[in-house]
Copies of this chain bind each other. A is one copy, B any other.
């Protein structure tokens, strides 16, 4: 696939990051808890979250009482940060017709329009923090997993 907004890893990463943003910021949360609550494969989620620890968005701790937690305040981490760490920023750069070198100078027929849309997605992702995401889920009792309105303890 060529013009991809989010891979499955990206989706899981975003869901998990939002979940984690709902937890007290000072405690490590085991990945198995996140995986269980969100009905995501533990092993796969582990791999996904490793790409977030590798860019120092998360810090991790091994052993009993270990887990992962954010390395900085969730109000300062955007959806964009999470998505780019997992899926790269290609969606925010690439031509919709996948023409190499498509640009203002040498555009494809949809260049200008697609650029606008890309920019909107980018802005949405950049302006939405994980704190925003968490607050949405908490206050409006929104969904984060595939099992109906959130069953997560606040």
Contact = CB atoms under 8 A, between A and B. Distances in A.
Contact of A128 (B97, B107, B110, B146): B110
What is the count of identical protomers in the complex? 2
Contact of A124 (B18, B97, B117): B117
Interface residues of A, number: 46
A64 interface: no
Contact of A108 (B2, B101, B142): B142
Contact of A109 (B7, B117, B133): B133
A3 to B, nearest CB: 4
Interface stretch (A8-16, A23-31, A50-58): A8-16
A5 B3 contact: yes
Contact of A143 (B102, B114, B140): B102
Given A111-B142, A113-B124, A117-B124, 12 more contacts: A1-B4, A2-B8, A3-B10, A5-B96, A11-B98, A97-B144, A99-B145, A106-B148, A108-B142, A108-B143, A109-B144, A110-B128
